[in-house]
Chains A and B, each alone.
Chain A
Amino acid sequence: MKGSEVRVENADKKFGDFHALKNVSLTIGKGEFFSLLGPSGCGKTTLLRIIAGFEDPSSGSVFLDTTDVLPLAPNERHVNTVFQNYALFPHLTIFENIAFPLRLKKLLKADIQEKVTHYLQLVHLVGHENKKPNQLSGGQKQRVAIARALINEPSVLLLDEPLSALDAKLRHQLLVDLDLIHDKIGITFIYVTHDQSEALSVSDRIAVMNEGRVLQIGTPFEIYEAPADTFVAKFIGETNVMDGVITAHVDNRYTIDTDSLGPIMVTSDRYFEVGHRVRHAIRPEKIDITKEKPLGLPEDFNIFHGKVSETVYSGFQSQFYVETDESPQFKVYQQHESYLERGPAIRWTDEVYLNWDADDGYIVELI
């Protein structure tokens, strides 16, 4: 592996009264594609800027492999950044933008030509080298920024919301490109984003942050299927949350008397006692929605009756907002797996039944 391990220990950062980072510790492995995910103001960009050297933490330390990098200036760290607004030099051509780090190192002309051409190929920008940045599209600019950040062969590449200024289609394309580049060069990527779908789709691991704290570190699968707390459960994907008291349990099968729906069953590998008040979550796509009451369901299925109060058709799926007899709103997604003659069978104001397997529910945390 060519990348470096990045270790952040007890990093704390205050801007005046604002506590941007609260005692953050994490270790990012060599060559890992690691995402810092959270809403704006959660401290993810501050953490990135501390690793890059643009900010000093109020306390704590940062190591690249075994080197303490805090005493080093940004230009002395073996780390390069892809900036959110591209930060291309407007007075230089694309070629000169990418060659900028090499010119600083006073490389030979032929070497510069060869390396720049190589990285232009990597980001599919051959033929644009004599243009100025303002003649490129947003996606092209971002690819120049990526090439420029990679040409120094850093051991860690920092990406600060690199795709946020692009439209959805392009964003997806560039994300795939980034993933391919990561596979090809194998250095450590630290990717800052507020977009959970970006983070889920390309990361090896994700750190979910909020209000200056790291709430959970895990693989995309872990983060989505086993969120550590309510914030993570609600921030990643969509979820229906119900609070209630555990009334019974047999092995790992719990019965919760929820405030909004009454008793539901759920499976959990964690241990809770009868009388514990917990938060239960069920993802919208794990709920089955039918017009007729489903018969012959196993006994560990939860089943509720309700009425559709809103439908959102989005081609590959429909989203239903269902008012059950007790709870105000329930979100349900139904994939359109086959062609439907007259559109989705379930319409607005239809009476429906919702059901889901107890294994698909999840106890988020004690409350």
Chain B
Amino acid sequence: MKSRSGSLYSLPLTTWISLFFLVPMLIVFVYSFLARETGGGVRWEFDLSAYAEIFRQTASGSFIYLDIVGYTLIMAVSATLLTILIALPCAYYIARSKNNTLLLFLVIIPFWVNFMIRIYAWVAILGQSGILNESLLAMGVLKEPIQFLFNDYAVLVVLVYTNLPFAILPLFTTIEKFDFGLLEAARDLGASHNRSLWSVLLPNIRGGLVTAVLFTFIPIFGTFAVPDVMGNSNVFMLGQLITSKLKFTGDYPMACSLSVLILLLSAAGLVVYTVYNNRQEQQHQVVIAEDEL
């Protein structure tokens, strides 16, 4: 039985999502198809130039924007991979530990500190007179300080650091539900320790892996603050590009078209995964249906 009261109960949520999620998205979408007003804002006439601009090629043959998209993709994929590689053993250890409440608490604690402060803390660690340089100098490993900041590696380190909890938590919840007896069964049947993790643990925590990838890749793909503080100021990631379009050149349609691009690229992965999952489920149901005949 469908009850009409359902829509009433969901009214607050519907209002909230419409006002603060759908309407802003719509504004971004509409703005991306309008003309740029010099001095900021938009002129209300249909104009595709903000999209054309994305694919513009310079006289020397390089793509200004697509190169940034490519660079952002490479950074986001590497940061996501690193995050997952570190998060997996952490989550596995926490799930098997008797102290998992304490360990999870430690994972969550950094959230109590403001995001920007945590990023600047890394400046204090990696900077020329930072903790890392000072201790390496004191130990005699270095003769003079190295500049660890303002390059891709510094960006990757901090991206991995800030996103690690978002990967650990979904992985932990799926690994915790995993039947570790299956690993013993695999060992018993002839698998080495690593082989049992690879062929039995990983396929059975696929859901958690996908969630962890989405939870890290999507925010990293649109990140702004981390590359802005830690990165080389000569290269931009997409988030920085959009910010500069808004803040410095006032090119609203361009900022919006780039935002739509991020949205589409992020959504593409999600769609592929959903379609793949549905297909698997359908096959599964077909088998069950045959069984019942």
Contact = CB atoms under 8 A, between A and B. Distances in A.
Contacts of B291: 131, 135
Contacts of A92: 203
Given A83-B181, A87-B181, A91-B204, A104 B187 contact: no
Given A91-B204, A135-B287, A135-B288, A74 B182 contact: no
A100 B189 contact: yes
B181 A80 contact: no
Given A135-B287, A135-B288, A135-B291, A87 B185 contact: yes
B182 A89 contact: yes
A18 B190 CA distance: 31
Interface in A70-101: 73-75, 79-81, 83, 85, 87-92, 100-101
A152 B186 CA distance: 12
A54 interface: yes
A342 interface: no
B190 A75 contact: yes
B60 to A, nearest CB: 51
Contacts of B288: 135
A89 B202 CA distance: 12
Contact of A75 (B181, B187, B287): B187
Contact residues of A: prevailing secondary structure: loop
B287 A130 contact: yes
A91 B186 CA distance: 13
A88 B181 CA distance: 9
Interface string B194-217: 010001100110100000000000
Contacts of B284: 132
A74 B184 contact: yes
B179 interface: yes
Nearest to A49: B184
A88 B189 CA distance: 11
Interface string A130-167: 11100100000000000011001000000000000000
B180 to A, nearest CB: 10
Contacts of A83: 181, 184-185
B191 interface: yes
Contact of A81 (B182, B188, B191, B203): B188
Nearest to B187: A74
A75 B189 CA distance: 6
A202 interface: no
A83 B204 CA distance: 19
B192 interface: yes
A112 to B, nearest CB: 14
Given A104-B195, A130-B287, A131-B287, A89 B188 contact: no
Contacts of B193: 73
22 contacts: A52-B188, A54-B187, A73-B193, A74-B187, A75-B188, A75-B190, A75-B192, A81-B184, A81-B188, A87-B182, A87-B184, A88-B185, A89-B204, A90-B204, A91-B203, A91-B204, A91-B206, A100-B186, A104-B190, A104-B191, A135-B288, A152-B190
